[in-house]
Chains A and B, each alone.
Chain A
């Protein structure tokens, strides 16, 4: 499988005029011709996936990804219903949608797929897919624009998308369905009277397009907040698409841009822009904002009363160390041939050794965070003896696991440097992956063993993480 990536990006306008009434105004025809040219370019690139980030699909509960393999309906615009109707039947890549949804959650984002007959695909997505993929030959995926998402979330949304593109080896085209300036005339106008709403809007639009034509995508992304203040009407969704599109292109300033058309649609700035990932050769110097990899914000911050309402349980307190005795009885480690056991590691919960040497290889039994001697769990147990869930610190638990691994390795005459492969088990991937991953990066991640992380339902003791470790330990 070839390495996947974004083979092209496009900025396209959202209003239905380019589909329903291109010949009522020369500018709308110009935009339509640009759409057609973009569709031709996409076909010639042998793209196998279209990804639409649409500003006209707002969401509240995280980001939503369309996963109906064949959504069909008739779209009528809320404002421009007199232009007519757009029947649609799209080819959605359901598998990619679900993989992206998983990848979002792995990177800490709230996310979900939607697959419901009659779901109202938004006007921006309908226009984009109708014109860029007229024969539906290329599967597509559509993502919403979360009305509360900030730059970090929107950037991580793109990175999780790239994770899947690379994993699946896809030749993807990234599309933002958006206006530049979005102020329309608030009264009805004749098509021949259409123009950009104001000189200021026009000047800002041209500045944005100048940057895009120079391939300065990251600069446009970094100007997003300013652009929003200057030329955007505060509708539901702010000027976020450039954050997403910039991250989809590696936050670069040396792309190759081409403005195919720039015109007004009822006063708003509509443009069709082609961004080619080929380096333009102008260099890539810029001031970098923090390049976030995982979303670690707390979108549930306003849910604080949830915990207050559950004061019947002790879950509001996170003990540093627990001495809970819940769980199975403990065993002395089995003393077999080539077994490696140590009093500095916690006792097993069954009849097995801490580790066993085979030639130059050392195979460790599953290691958890329990402390030798006290059996305490740094960061706290995940539930009490009655099974009521407790708050706990995944970082503290993960660090304790690594420390226990190190103790067993030390007993065998080695260290963390000898670790070559790890399989990790998490009981709550969604909650804990990020924290676990941070500790990993600071410890075993510096050594560089291969790693597989699995979500499992539970572990024998009230812990959240366990590691199965293989080390290369020459005698």
Chain B
């Protein structure tokens, strides 16, 4: 068995509006469109990776929120109906997904050995969170790759962004080690927005794009600052400024996904590709790819 590797790492945000606007057959509500810049960003991301084969997707979702340790889906198959409790008018999605339990268990075991509290989720009645479903659909609408789904440990709430980062950086390192040991080719996804201040009202037609914009100039500045670091290969600066970004932009990085992703990618110093940026009910969202495959080739 050869050494496993990470094909790409991506920020793949999960607002249900994107699935709603696309009108896939799995989703019950029907839309007239909307949020095209981000949906086309996802299209570009998929096209970017179309020629790169991989075995599994490893995804961390901030909407599987666990306060006691980090959890992993631990059964090979889940199906059911996912209804967003906040936007049930937009997202009622019939999902059917497979899990790479072997890889999930490997990451779990590696994390446990590193001293992190972890648990496999093996209750067949468990309903997979809508963040996982949304990102899973947008990244891979055919659902033809197994997933490893990791919960979002809410250590930011319990301690601080700094403590969260320590945990997530460690979780990223063990994720990378487990992937390498597995011999598999993997894409890793952090399912999160950037700035995350919502509007608290909804237009009569939710996809009315004349109502869509960033909530404030400050949020825009933070989003652009972070994206600029991504595009210029300065991942370490993102980690360095994570406490301020998380606090001042009320960023969804509080769930740890972005820190985990960058750690899993070994804090890349090469430029990421921005496939799309847009706002969703005022929150800032970017579809970003770190093309690890290209840099592994160049290092050979």
Contact = CB atoms under 8 A, between A and B. Distances in A.
Q: Do A and B bind each other?
A: yes
B141 interface: no
A84 interface: yes
Given A58-B86, A110-B200, A120 B68 contact: no
Interface string A301-321: 011011001100000000000
Interface in A42-78: 57-62, 73-74, 76, 78
B67 A309 contact: no
A118 B155 contact: no
B210 interface: yes
B67 A61 contact: no
Interface of chain B, helix or strand or loop or mixed? loop
* Chain A contact surface mostly: loop
B144 interface: no
Contacts of A114: 88-89
A184 interface: yes
Contact of A183 (B123, B158, B200, B213): B158
B88 A187 contact: no
A170 B196 CA distance: 41
Contacts of A455: none
Contacts of A300: 199-201
B157 A266 contact: no
Contacts, number: 114
B66 A61 contact: no
B154 interface: yes
Interface in B47-94: 64-69, 71, 80-81, 83, 85-89, 92
Interface string B227-266: 0000000000000000000000000000000000000000
A302 B69 contact: no
Interface in B117-156: 117, 119, 121-123, 125-127, 129, 151, 153-155
A377 to B, nearest CB: 26
A61 B129 CA distance: 19
B85 A78 contact: no
B44 interface: no
B85 A120 contact: yes
A303 B199 contact: yes
B177 interface: no
Interface in A178-209: 183-188
Contacts of A61: 86-87, 200-202
Contacts of B153: 186
Nearest to A83: B123
A233 B157 contact: yes
B255 to A, nearest CB: 11
12 contacts: A61-B86, A61-B200, A76-B123, A81-B126, A82-B119, A120-B85, A148-B200, A183-B158, A186-B153, A299-B200, A300-B201, A303-B201
Interface of A: 57-62, 73-74, 76, 78-82, 84-85, 110, 114, 116-120, 122, 146, 148, 183-188, 233-235, 266, 299-300, 302-303, 305-306, 309-310
Given A302-B197, A303-B199, 19 more contacts: A58-B86, A61-B87, A78-B65, A78-B151, A81-B122, A81-B126, A84-B123, A116-B92, A118-B80, A118-B81, A118-B92, A148-B200, A186-B69, A186-B117, A233-B154, A300-B200, A300-B201, A302-B199, A309-B213
